[in-house]
Amino acid sequence: MTRLRTQESMKDVPGSKVTPLPVSLHQACEPVACRQCGVYRLCLPLGLHGGDMTLLESVVKRKETYKRGQLLFSPGDRFDFIYAIRGGSVKTSVCTPDGRVQITGFHIAGELLGLSALASGKYSSEARALETTSVCRVEAEQLDQLAQKIPSLQYQMMKIMSGQIRRDEELMLLLGRRSAEERLAEYLLGLSRRFAARKFSPTQFNLSMSRGDIGNYLGIAEETVCRILTRFQNAGLIAIERRHVSLIDLAQLEAVGRMKPAA
């Protein structure tokens, strides 16, 4: 089913001025065919071949680029596109009528955005670039029509959505039942796993989101995030300086992730 590429073109030619800020996963991509894109197997890890792939390519608008802080879409916007992240990172969030915000996810290369808009025809959340980010936009309607012709595409999209539901369930578990330390440990490990799946270092990476964002996502205060990160550092589990993290003792970190015996 899922076969991952071993050779990844990490060495993207940044043409001219492509690295203005501390780059974590940013990759500047030329508008190449999907089959040549380093991340397409992550976007839609489907068993498409030959003609099917060409059809898929026909509905993809390649290489939109967003800078830090720019919106990809907002709640209520008409649902036009599914976004596939090629490089960079994005946060998605929902908010209460009175203005409180909950970040629902951080998304990196190879992930899809906008799926929850399918039901209502409008985006329900906001998506904002955390750093310079490039995406492929896929016309929702065309994709939909195309999916009707290509069963495996339909199937893969369902699988992706199903996976999203599963991850959301896990986040709920995190938010509902775990202590702040556990949440943070899990958070770091989760990032680590996702980076690993993309052939990036699982032990050294940059956080493209602020402490405040992390806290919001995990349902804890910004200050608590700082304190606990410091605590982890003092305990020799990680080394962290500003946005750069090194996971030093994975095993211990995992142990922290499941500490309390509780209910």
Binding site for its own copies (CB under 8 A): 94-98, 100-102, 104, 115-120, 124-125, 144, 147-148, 151, 154-155, 157-166, 168-173, 175-178, 216-219, 258, 260-263
Give the other-Cβ count within 10 Å of 86's Cβ: 27
- Residue 38: CB minimum distance to its own copies, A: 23
Interaction partner, residue 151 (its own copies, DNA, none; CB < 5-8 Å by kind) = its own copies
CA pair distance 48, 29, nearest whole angstrom = 22
Return the number of the residue (229 or 253) whose C-beta is nearest DNA: 229
Nearer to its own copies (CB atom), residue 79 or residue 205: 79
> Minimum Å distance from CB 176 to DNA?
9
Nearest to residue 211, comparing CAs of 231, 184, 191? 184
Query: Which residues contribute to the site for DNA (CB under 7 A)?
Result: 20-22, 179-181, 207, 210-212, 215, 219-227, 229-230, 240-243, 262-263
Q: Give which of DNA, its own copies, none residue 211 binds (C-beta under 5 to 8 Å, depending on kind).
A: DNA
Work out what residue 230 binds among DNA, its own copies, none; the CB cut-off runs from 5 to 8 Å by kind. Answer: DNA
75 secondary structure, DSSP code: T
Percent helix, percent strand, percent coil in the chain, to nearest 5:
40, 20, 40
| Min separation Cβ 223 and DNA, Å | 4
What's the CA gap between 98 and 134, in Å, rounded?
32
**Which of the listed partners (DNA, its own copies, none) does 21 bind, with a CB threshold of 5 to 8 Å by partner kind?**
DNA
Minimal distance in Å, beta carbon 12 to its own copies?
Answer: 29
Instruction: Tell me how far, at minimum, the Cβ of 232 lies from DNA, in Å.
Output: 11
Q: Which helix (H) or strand (E) holds 52?
A: helix 50-59
- The site partner of 62 among its own copies, DNA, none (C-beta below 5 to 8 Å per kind) is none
Phi, psi for residue 194 in degrees, rounded to 5: -65, -40
Chain length of the chain: 263
CA distances from 39 to 9, 133, 226 (A): 9, 14, 33
Cβ distance to its own copies smaller for residue 235 or 255:
255
Tracing tokens 């690993």 back to the chain, one arrives at 196
The strands making up 238-241's β-sheet, listed across from edge to edge, are 204-206, 244-247, 238-241
Rank residues 92 and 116 by Cβ distance to DNA and give the closer one: 92
